[in-house]
Structure 1
Amino acid sequence: MSIVIITGSAGLIGSEATEFYASLGYKVIGIDNNMRETFFGPEGSTIWNRNRLEGVLGKKYEHHMMDIRQADQLNELFSLYGKEISLIIHTAAQPSHDWAVKDPFTDFGVNANGTLNLLEAMRHHCPEAVFIFTSTNKVYGDRPNTLPLIELETRWEIDPAHAFREGISEEMSVDQSMHSLFGASKLAADILVQEYGRYFNFKTVCFRGGVLSGSKQSGVQLHGFINYLMRCAITGTPYTIFGYEGKQVRDVIHSSDVISAFHAFYLNPRRGGEVYNLGGGRDSNVSMLEAIQLSQEITGREFVYTYSDTARAGDHQWYVSDLAKFKAHYPEWQQAYNHIRLIMEGIYEENKDRWRVAI
């Protein structure tokens, strides 16, 4: 039996991957110690999702409350399965700009050192496995903010004459820009994943995500933009927009479309440390103001928010992913959730009863 190891298995992308590969008959080994609750408090806890996975999947899923910073524990686990491990999906992370400032050592330990520990475990126990890393568009730092933007009524938009008019490509530099400490730790991990692919000729890949969203995310103010916004819309919790007049734009991709991209790479992996930008692209992107309007239409409730002139350090004013490189390598891949409204409606339908009970 082929083994799939998934870190952050009770999180948004991790749980989506867990259910997907269990449904294909793989044995899934999940690693998740619920550090999201440590980062964000009880609202960030993923225990509810872990319990759901264990209830739904039974023996197809084996959970380990393991800290990826503990190399000896990872090596012991990897040694149990060795070359039976065909795929490693690494989604565990400290994901917040703001939280990283509070504790840079933990941020770097989880994001960078944890990634190194996993790569070393693969190198010693299953070097032919595919290693998929959930990176981030924050590896580009605030360089996207140097693009020529035009202010429209509800959003910022790129100058249509610019080379990145279809989205930001992997050609954008990661150097000499402000990343935030979170962006720096994720960039360190991103470079490590590339280097193990190039230096050892391993099958590693970095997917630099835009906003990854879906109904199974434990969205909080510091992470999980669309999910948290919809939770505020349903519960009436006041929301804060930070800077850019609420016209900042993000592209949003559904977690199931992320996993289908992962699987396309797994079925036909490339060696040498590939890098792909992955987001909603030109089909699925939204500004804060536009997302608020959509949430009101979907929930039928007025959205309560305040505005702060202070943008988060290193935050993007406009970010849309150019998906051309990945689509060229994997032309069979298509987005099922090809509009932001579909994603927001799904979050509403699957969470409205649970979130209303919580208030």
Structure 2
Amino acid sequence: MSGGVSQGPAWADGKPVLVTGGAGFVGTNLADRIVRQGGTVIIYDNLSRAGVERNLAWLRRTHGSRIIAEVADIRDADRLAGAVARSGAVFHLAAQVAVTTSLTDPRTDFEVNALGTLNLLEAVRAQPLPPPVIFSSTNKVYGSLPDLALAEEGERYQPTDHAQAVGVGEGRPLDFHSPYGCSKGAADQYVVDYARSYGLKAAVFRMSCIYGPHQFGTEDQGWVAHFLLAALERKTVTLFGTGRQVRDILHVNDLVDAFVLGMANMDKLAGQACNIGGGADNAVSLRQVLDIIGRLDSRPVEVSYGPWRVGDQPWYVADSAKFRGLTGWEPAISATEGIEQLYWWLKSNRIDTAPDLPAAWSIPAVG
């Protein structure tokens, strides 16, 4: 982990750390790190996404009673308040995560992402000593970046103004696009304003594309893992648009480093939003990722093409200089190295359907 920690972990006080959406792939990796650093984690998750039951089973098998499972929905304000009341720090990752789903069911998208976040903030605000909060936002708050002039350079798009290739900074105006962008953007701004209006120690991470172990990606979300799974299962990958879209992918271990550093430096971060991504050094196009996978799998991935999707960004790279300056964080895992690691992890751990939870976990309430 990079330097810059100003104090010990927020879970050093012995109170559990609440991770909403904690059985998801990011939450699983974060919970694992927290427990390995001596903490206890409340996994608050409704287990609605395929594969998350397996993640929860792995956490319980690995860490036993240091993992407390609270199987509940972020829209259940009373259950959420009870979990917050027991917590010494909060990582808010629970979300409806797909642009496509938000377009077909915008009400549920809003209720989960915007109202769910308000439920959390109100629960935090109600505590005598409100725990610090880091919220997982998205680069989609910047919209589709239609003003960014791009040119095709081989298998990727690149800004024609090379000064912009360092990435998008937090000074870029917000431009919510798609119901998902609106719901996550509203939540993003609520977190920033609750820090400003109520003095909460709360910060926002606007994240790029995250990938790594415990991710069971789909066509709509988690595209690096989805590409890898398709290759392993000899399925065709559909590229929407040209496939030259660029993202600065970030390995989940580097993101967890950022979460830990962010919580330890909350006095500096409270009330701020920071871009978190792999940066220009880890910027790859969809086609380039497929080329890497083809070399790993010793055969090209079959590809078909579909129309551009609503709100898609032809090019997005995060400029994380603000967060680096505040915490000393730097990504350590290159795109090529990380994709290879995930390839071998998925080769050993891919699933067709998620198993049921053991009967002992069928009663979700705790405490």
Q: TM-score, normalised by structure 1?
A: 0.91
- Match of residue 278, structure 2, among 274, 277, 280: 280
In structure 1, what is the equivalent of residue 156 of structure 2? 155
- Structure 2 counterparts to residues 133-172 of structure 1, below 5 A: 133-142=135-144, 144-162=145-163, 164-172=164-172
- Match of residue 322, structure 1, among 319, 330, 351: 319
RMSD across aligned positions (CA): 1.5
- Structure 2 counterparts to residues 214-253 of structure 1, below 5 A: 214-243=212-241, 245-253=242-250
- Match of residue 99, structure 1, among 91, 98, 101: 101
Matched, 1:31 2:44: yes
In structure 1, what is the equivalent of residue 127 of structure 2? 125
User: 1:19 & 1:51 partners in 2: Cα distance?
Assistant: 12
In structure 1, what is the equivalent of residue 8 of structure 2? none
- Counterpart contact for 1:145–1:318, Cα < 8 Å: no
- Match of residue 349, structure 1, among 340, 344, 350: 344
Amino acid paired to 2:39: Y
In structure 2, what is the equivalent of residue 189 of structure 1? 187
TM-superposed deviation, 1:159: 2.1
User: 2:349 & 2:30 partners in 1: Cα distance?
Assistant: 23
Question: Secondary structure at 1:21's aligned position in 2?
Answer: helix
- Counterpart contact for 1:100–1:182, Cα < 8 Å: yes
Gaps of 5+ in 2: 1-13, 354-367
User: 1:356 & 1:182 partners in 2: Cα distance?
Assistant: 27
Flag the 1:271–1:293 CA change in 2: closer, same or farther, 3 A.
closer
In structure 2, what is the equivalent of residue 39 of structure 1? none
User: 1:212 & 1:127 partners in 2: Cα distance?
Assistant: 32
Matched, 1:312 2:309: yes
TM-superposed deviation, 1:302: 2.3
Q: Deviations over 1:91-127 (max 9, x none)?
A: 1110101111121111111101111111111111264
Question: Secondary structure at 2:165's aligned position in 1?
Answer: coil
Matched, 1:63 2:59: no
TM-superposed deviation, 1:2: 2.5
- Counterpart contact for 2:216–2:350, Cα < 8 Å: no
Q: Deviations over 1:159-178 (max 9, x none)?
A: 2444x321000011114xx6
Question: Secondary structure at 1:336's aligned position in 2?
Answer: coil
User: 2:186 & 2:341 partners in 1: Cα distance?
Assistant: 34
- Structure 2 counterparts to residues 173-188 of structure 1, below 5 A: 173-175=173-175, 179-188=177-186
- Counterpart contact for 1:86–1:126, Cα < 8 Å: no
Gaps of 5+ in 1: 37-43
- Counterpart contact for 1:277–1:323, Cα < 8 Å: yes
Question: Secondary structure at 2:151's aligned position in 1?
Answer: strand
Moved over 4 A (4+): none
User: 1:328 & 1:125 partners in 2: Cα distance?
Assistant: 31
- Counterpart contact for 2:103–2:179, Cα < 8 Å: yes
How many residues of Structure 1 are paired with residues of Structure 2 in the alignment? Answer: 339
Amino acid paired to 1:159: T
TM-superposed deviation, 1:357: 8.0
Question: Secondary structure at 1:216's aligned position in 2?
Answer: coil
Amino acid paired to 2:152: E
User: 1:10 & 1:131 partners in 2: Cα distance?
Assistant: 18
Amino acid paired to 2:342: I
User: 2:141 & 2:167 partners in 1: Cα distance?
Assistant: 16
Amino acid paired to 1:71: A
TM-superposed deviation, 1:4: 0.5
Matched, 1:265 2:271: no
- Counterpart contact for 1:201–1:271, Cα < 8 Å: no
- Counterpart contact for 2:121–2:194, Cα < 8 Å: yes
Flag the 1:184–1:357 CA change in 2: closer, same or farther, 3 A.
closer
In structure 2, what is the equivalent of residue 207 of structure 1? 205
TM-superposed deviation, 1:345: 0.6
Q: Deviations over 1:196-238 (max 9, x none)?
A: 1111122111100110111211201111010111111111111
Amino acid paired to 2:48: M
Q: TM-score, normalised by structure 2?
A: 0.89
Flag the 1:356–1:113 CA change in 2: closer, same or farther, 3 A.
closer
Q: Deviations over 1:265-295 (max 9, x none)?
A: 1112136411111111012111011111100
Deviates more, 1:271-280 or 1:181-190: 271-280
Matched, 1:336 2:332: yes
Question: Secondary structure at 1:135's aligned position in 2?
Answer: strand
User: 2:293 & 2:77 partners in 1: Cα distance?
Assistant: 43
TM-superposed deviation, 1:88: 0.2
Determine which structure has greater relative contact order: mean sequence separation of CA pairs < 8 Å that are 6+ residues apart, divided by chain length: 2
Identity over aligned residues, as a percent? 34
